[in-house]
């Protein structure tokens, strides 16, 4: 079977890289839920009592970050 990229032009630029996580500011903590076996991992980034971000890492290695936004004053 022929690749769908065969015969396509290529760009002369650097390859894309995965973003590097930013350092956590003071007062922010990270907790992890680590299940047994080859299953997804869920990390929770909290600032005080509020959840600021949920990071889900699939067993295949794909990583999804979910930003938690709150209305002002809450």
Is 9 within the bounds of a domain? no
Residue 65, pLDDT score: 92
**pLDDT grade, residue 7 (50/70/90)?**
confident
Q: Give 13-71 pLDDT, tens digit per residue.
A: 776 676 677 777 777 777 666 555 678 888 888 888 888 899 988 888 889 999 988 88
Residues 6 or more apart whose CB falls under 8 angstroms from that of 29 comprise 45, 46, 47
What is the pLDDT at residue 35? 54
Task: Give residue 35's domain range.
Answer: 28-67
Count: domains in the chain: 1
Residue 10 has pLDDT above 70, yes or no: yes
Do 54 and 65 meet the contact criterion of CB atoms below 8 Å apart? yes
């Amino acid at each position: 079977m022929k690749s769908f990229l065969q015969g396509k032009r290529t760009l002369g630029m650097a390859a894309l890289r995965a973003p590097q996580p930013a350092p956590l500011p003071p007062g922010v903590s990270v907790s992890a839920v680590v299940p047994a076996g080859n299953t997804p991992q869920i990390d929770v980034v909290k600032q005080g009592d509020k959840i600021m971000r949920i990071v889900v890492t699939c067993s295949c290695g794909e990583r999804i970050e979910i930003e938690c936004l709150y209305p002002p004053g809450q």
